Structure 1
Amino acid sequence: MAVLDYLNIKADVKLVLRDNLVELFMDKIIIADEISKAISQTQQIVPFSKRGILLSLQDAYDVASLVKENLDSPPEVGKKIGFTNRNIWDVYNVNAPIWGPITSKSVSFTETNFQKIDLSRFCEPRIEPEVVICLKEKPHHSDENLNIFIDWIAPGFEIVDSIYPNWAFALPDTIATGGLHGCLVVGKKLIINNDVERDLVDLKVRLFKGASFEEEGTGANVLDGPVSAIRYLHKSLADIKNQVLLSSGNIITTGTMTDAKPVFPGEKWTGRFEGIIESELSVEFL
């Protein structure tokens, strides 16, 4: 092959690759715009996976970052980890955990372990009882004893929401929306000065709707324990480009200990935590 022919082929390949990258970036912008509109207008849309749009994990997290920019989200104060409960993977057609940002607007704290929540801004909300952990330092390595980086733990309720009807989607669809995060209620904090990893594995929660018992869950359901879930998150964030890594002061809600339950205005839900966290957390929906 002549040198000139080789150079022409190489140039053509570069043009094709460049054009493909531009097209992919434009596709991400279009998808992010549609998701942003659905969230801001409390509307549901057909999952992209059902339209033949199969996003890679990297693409999905890129879209989520664009959505965050579109919505002019407040500063990120931590992460939510989703689908850490392997018992519900088949229910939601997923096969791995996800994560998304928690912002200063999406999290609230209650020292009385009671909070009222307006559901009008959500499409199809569900409630998840979770362990919330705050980091006092930035972790350095994923295999470290993460206990030394924990400042406090607390009971929490994450309200998750789906812009996809009937909670039917593929994993990348959920990532692209920001991990299905709606809001987070954090109960009374417990300052930590010792190793709590085993204690959090053994933690139990009994979930009630009014006086009706709904389900019991354990910390072990959360990717073998809430601290283990954070270890997974810390490692996985480094595997995806352009992610905000964990840092001092971050609040992390580690995933649901039970299945996510549909919620409606007028209901009161209570999580009775038993173990290292001995308290009740209640929310009333408006």
Structure 2
Amino acid sequence: MADIAAIAAKLDAAASTARAIPQITGQEGELSLADAYAIQRAAIDHRLARGATLVGVKMGFTSEAKMVQMGLKDQIWGRLTSDMVVANGGALDRTRFIHPRVEPEVAVRLKAPLAGEVTRDAALAAVDAVAAALEIIDSRYENFRFALSDVVADNASSSAFVVGPWLPAHTDIADVAMEMRVDDVVAETGSSAAILGDPIRSLVAAARLAGAAGLVLQPGWTVMLGGATAAAAIASARTVSLDAGHLGRVGFTIAGGAT
């Protein structure tokens, strides 16, 4: 039986000190998905105890190809807290991260609670605004290697996020071309259609999965709907920017010594 509290404390310490730890699977025995989500919640509780607040959720494995590769039939999700927020155009402190990577995403802001099994129309009706966004992921495990339960326990590798200008909820997000640059060199190109074929499907999944854990998505929260491309390493980068067509631009700089 997994020691939920002890593993959560270990993961929280790894994130707080930017020091990698061995993956849980193999070190602590087998870890069920239910235990992994319990560890995720307990680790986030450490952040909340230090004064952070819940500000949303993020979705992972929203690429059909990635799900097939991982042998999955469903997405995973994690929690977003106020200490993960980076302002558009702001600076990211490199010393906070172990081996950071970045991926282009679409984000939505909610205006109404959302939980459980909802239709696409109901999910859309709860959206207040949409935006292009960047998520910085940073596995707390050595060599960025992990099994499914490991990454779920580690809050789906979430560590920071940057949201671009908020646009009206009716703005089209279905098939938006995206070009992400690292140090002004094109690192990844893709389309928001890679997010489950329709990003709103990811919002429907977020309501269902979070609801199953007893969490209601709240008005004002941000939901990061998943990566539109593969993630790009930014351990030695200085700038990251995303051009998302009619969704606008979003980016950040990176300060501090190289990892």
Q: C-alpha root-mean-square deviation of aligned residues, in Å?
A: 2.0
**CA distance 1:123–1:200, change in 2 (3 Å):** same
What amino acid maps onto 1:28 in structure 2? I
Distance 1:121 1:223 in 2: 31
What amino acid maps onto 2:222 in structure 1? I
Q: Out of 53, 71, 80, which is 1:102 matched to?
A: 80
Report SS of the residue matched to 1:105. helix
Partner of 1:20: none
Partner of 2:135: 158
Partner of 1:253: 224
The Cα of 1:109 is off from its aligned counterpart by: 3.4
Q: Out of 118, 126, 131, which is 2:93 matched to?
A: 118
- Is 1:217 aligned to residue 190 of structure 2? yes
Compare 81-90 and 34-43 and name the one that shifted more.
81-90
1:87–1:221 contact (8 Å) kept in structure 2: no
The Cα of 1:38 is off from its aligned counterpart by: 1.4
Distance 1:62 1:224 in 2: 30
Report SS of the residue matched to 1:202. coil
Q: Out of 11, 19, 22, which is 1:46 matched to?
A: 22
Superposed structure 1 runs of 4+ greater than 4 Å apart: none
**CA distance 1:54–1:255, change in 2 (3 Å):** same
Deviations 1:188-212 (CA, angstroms, capped at 9, x unpaired): 11122x3x5xx32211101112332
Partner of 2:250: 281
Deviations 1:79-127 (CA, angstroms, capped at 9, x unpaired): 0112212334577x463421111112211333xxx22211111111100
Within a 5 Å distance, the mapping from 1:91-240 to structure 2 comes to 93=70, 95=72, 96-110=74-88, 114-139=89-114, 141-145=117-121, 146-192=123-169, 194=170, 196=171, 199-240=172-213
Larger radius of gyration: 1
**CA distance 1:52–1:77, change in 2 (3 Å):** closer
Point out where structure 2 has 5 or more consecutive residues left out of the alignment. none
2:184–2:239 contact (8 Å) kept in structure 1: no
Q: Identity percentage over the alignment?
A: 26
Partner of 1:264: 235
Distance 1:172 1:237 in 2: 16
Report SS of the residue matched to 1:127. strand
The Cα of 1:179 is off from its aligned counterpart by: 1.8
Point out where structure 1 has 5 or more consecutive residues left out of the alignment. 1-23
Partner of 1:11: none
Deviations 1:151-196 (CA, angstroms, capped at 9, x unpaired): 111111111101112221111111112221111111111122x3x5
Distance 1:204 1:255 in 2: 15
Distance 1:226 1:262 in 2: 24
Distance 2:56 2:13 in 1: 24
Distance 2:187 2:226 in 1: 18
Distance 2:53 2:184 in 1: 38
What amino acid maps onto 1:246 in structure 2? L
The Cα of 1:132 is off from its aligned counterpart by: 1.0
- Give the number of the structure with larger relative contact order, counting CA–CA contacts within 8 Å between residues 6 or more apart: 2
What amino acid maps onto 1:64 in structure 2? Q
What amino acid maps onto 1:281 in structure 2? V
Distance 2:106 2:79 in 1: 16
What amino acid maps onto 2:44 in structure 1? K
The Cα of 1:144 is off from its aligned counterpart by: 4.5
Partner of 1:33: 9
1:94–1:170 contact (8 Å) kept in structure 2: no
